[in-house]
Amino acid sequence: MGKISEELSRLYQANEKLTPELVVEAAKPKASPLHDRFEWDNKKAGHEFRLIQARTLLRVTVLNIGDKEQRLVHVPPVRRENEEASREGEYVIVDVLKDSEDQYRRALAEAMSNLDSAQRRVSELRDMKPEESDGRFAVALRSIEAAKMALAA
């Protein structure tokens, strides 16, 4: 396991979740294994860009938790009236998601939303150049619809 994965695993175990904000904070010290994964020159990129970099890192890194390799799943924040919620949500390992019905439902709702978004994008592309529509868009749209139905079942 690489140094980045080790550091993210350590952070996850210390916080029981990961957020881009936590990752950026941990990466600030030059001695951090994560430091070189970020652009620190504010003329080139500010804090928001580093959050984007952190999200990307969280999506692609496999953590070693206990004796298991695990991926992180994004769980959107809880939205309640009159309460401040993180816009970001958090990233948790699959084992945690399996044990939390609330987090699982929020992650599933986000997956459905992502499928809706993908469906809209494919439809827009199909409609942009209908003369090039050779059936692949129809297959893609049917596949997305099938995925949505499967997740809703």
Question: What are the residue ranges spanned by the domains of the chain?
Answer: 1-93, 100-153
Q: Is residue 45's pLDDT more than 90?
A: no
Q: Is residue 15's pLDDT more than 90?
A: yes
Note the pLDDT tens digit of each residue in 103-128: 999 999 999 999 999 999 999 999 99
C-alpha Rg value of the chain to the nearest Å:
19
Indicate the pLDDT class of residue 78, thresholds 50, 70 and 90. confident
Q: What is the 3-state secondary structure (H, E, C) of 116-147?
A: HHHHHHHHHHHHHCHHHCCCHHHHHHHHHHHH
Q: Are 65 and 9 in contact (CB under 8 A)?
A: yes
Cα distances (Å, whole numbers) of residue 28 to 19, 36, 37, 71, 93: 15, 9, 10, 24, 24
Q: Which helix (H) or strand (E) holds 75?
A: strand 72-75
Residue 61's pLDDT is what? 93
Percent of the chain with pLDDT over 90: 76
Residue 31's pLDDT is what? 96
Closest CA to 20 of 62, 45, 49, 63: 49
Q: Output phi, psi for 81, to 5 deg.
A: -60, 145
Distance CA 112, CA 131 (A): 30
Indicate the pLDDT class of residue 144, thresholds 50, 70 and 90. very high
Note the pLDDT tens digit of each residue in 18-39: 999 999 999 999 999 999 999 9
Residue 82's pLDDT is what? 61
Tell me, rounded to whole angstroms, the distance of Cα 96 from its chain centroid: 15
Distance CA 153, CA 9 (A): 34
Closest CA to 20 of 60, 48, 62, 61: 48
Please tell me which residue, 48 or 59, carries the higher pLDDT value: 59
Residue 142's pLDDT is what? 95
Mean pLDDT in residue range 77-101: 81
- 3-class state of residue 104 by DSSP: helix
Closest CA to 23 of 63, 66, 77: 63
How high is the mean pLDDT of the chain?
A: 91
